[in-house]
């Protein structure tokens, strides 16, 4: 499964900006403006996002292999980062779940 680091390294300028924006939504110190990203937490959330998408991805008529499903989920996760990177204050569903208090 692709990592945020690999996505950044292999991506074009738009993808790199989207990865940076995703990292910025996972600050080490949420109470401080312009805090450094918590890349470990961002990576966990990105991996979980891919896993959720992989579970939801419709099987391709061309390939029923797990690799095809993983690739589609990775592409969908990348596209989601690209589409939401400029939406101010957006919290990804994975992040919202993590912030909910445990009952």
Q: Taking Cα atoms as reference points, which of 68, 47, 44, 46 lies closest to residue 57? A: 68
Number of domain units in the chain? 1
> Coil, strand, or helix at residue 27?
strand
Quick one: what percent of the chain has pLDDT higher than 70?
A: 82
pTM of the entire predicted model:
0.79
How far apart are alpha carbons 94 and 20 in whole angstroms? Answer: 17
Positions of the chain with pLDDT lower than 50, given as ranges: 100-103
Domain extent for 67 = 4-99
- As beta bridge partners, residue 27 has 37
């Amino acid at each position: 499964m692709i990592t945020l680091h690999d996505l950044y390294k292999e991506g074009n300028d738009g993808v790199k900006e989207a990865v940076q924006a995703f990292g910025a939504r996972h600050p080490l110190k949420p109470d401080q403006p312009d805090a450094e990203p918590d890349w470990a937490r961002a990576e966990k959330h990105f991996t979980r996002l891919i896993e959720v998408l992989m579970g939801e991805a419709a099987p391709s008529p061309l390939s029923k292999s797990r690799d095809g499903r993983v690739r589609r989920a990775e592409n969908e996760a990348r596209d989601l980062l690209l589409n939401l990177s400029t939406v101010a204050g957006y919290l990804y569903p994975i992040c919202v779940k993590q912030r909910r208090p445990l009952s």
